[in-house]
Amino acid sequence: MYFSIIIPCYNAQNTLTRTLDSIKAQQVFVKEIILIDDGSQDHTQAIAKHYIENHLSCTIDYHYQTNQGPGAARNKGAYLAKGQYTLFLDNDDALCEGALALFHQTFMEHPQAKLLIAGANDINGQRKKSSIPNIYTNTLDILTAYWFGPLSIEGGATPIRTEVLKTTHYPENIKHGEDIVFFSRLLSQYPALILPIATLDSYRHPESLRNQQKSILSNGDKLTFILFDAHYLKPEYMIFRAQFHAQNLITLAHAALLLKQKSQSRAFLATAFQEYPKCFFKIRTLKMFLKTYL
């Protein structure tokens, strides 16, 4: 048995079945599933209990806690993990067929790799968009592609050797972007291997997208200061701080605009321009700025 699969859950009664079913067909590679219920007020616990009793032969550990956010839930799961490898799934993700077998084989063939980065299918209603990562050969290229595009890293498509979780954890003082901090810190310390194939279906729905915008705004601009900490990132990565901060401010501006907070959106954009003037050379940013006056 190889994988500890950690699933933070929050009011997941409509999606958790799909997630667990996607693991069921691959459970020969699973040592344990760790469900961290982060204060659900629906039937999430009943679904977990049903699968424990009826569907899966691997161990399922269910833990309930008061709502503390995704970072705290994942850290608790990582602390409990006993498998060789750990995979963080969201409660509305689904593993693609054969994903765990591919991960296991790749880890066996590349013992130097501490984490694998595969692609994902973004599914929104009837629309499906696949994000397949390019091959990068050094850490700087991976990090800059992750921070500024085109690389996207999904927890459910990024298995990790459990041993490294003893030194690297999710930040618990932000509710959005904690994955950016976590994976950036991992990448700055340990070798990664890119797999140019989609291994995860990541589902979106209108309510989750709206909640995402609110979550983005709840952080303010803390993300940059948490990420660019010299204790975790090497000097050659710290030089990208201003550019990242401006990009994060533009993300905040976009979230504010979607939530009809136009004056707040303009304020974020003005600060972004002061931080990194080149950010306004993009047509998308200029269009956003104009929309704050319409």
pLDDT tens, position by position, 75-101: 999 999 999 999 999 999 999 999 999
Half-sphere exposure of 117 (CA within 13 A, CB side): 24
Contact residues for 271 (Cβ-Cβ < 8 A; gap 6+)? 221, 249
Which has the closest alpha carbon to 250: 278, 225, 230?
278
d(CA 273, CA 44): 44
Over the stretch 255-264, which tens digit does the pLDDT of each residue have? 999 999 999 9
Pair type for strands 93-95 and 3-9 = unpaired
Pick among 3.90.550.10, 3.30.540.10, 3.40.50.1000, 3.40.50.620: CATH of 3-204 = 3.90.550.10
- Model confidence at 137, in pLDDT bands (50, 70, 90)? confident
Residue ranges of domains in the chain = 3-204, 211-291
Taking a C-beta distance cutoff of 8 angstroms, is the pair 114, 185 a contact? no
Pure H helices in the chain:
16-24, 44-54, 70-80, 99-109, 139-148, 178-189, 206-219, 222-227, 235-238, 241-258, 262-275, 283-291
- Taking all residues of the chain, what is their mean pLDDT, rounded to a whole number? 93
The pTM of the full predicted model, rounded to 2 decimals, is 0.94
Taking a C-beta distance cutoff of 8 angstroms, is the pair 181, 75 a contact? no
d(CA 119, CA 187): 17
Tokens of 30: 């699973």
Residue that the structure tokens 């709502």 belong to: 67
The length of the chain in residues reads: 294
Over the stretch 29-86, which tens digit does the pLDDT of each residue have? 999 999 999 999 999 999 999 999 886 678 999 999 999 999 999 999 999 999 999 9
CA 30 from centroid of its chain's CA atoms = 21
Residue that the structure tokens 């958790």 belong to: 16
d(CA 175, CA 109): 36
Residue 92 pLDDT: 92
pLDDT of 277 > 70? The answer is yes
Pure H helices in 110-205:
139-148, 178-189
Over the stretch 278-290, which tens digit does the pLDDT of each residue have? 998 899 999 999 9
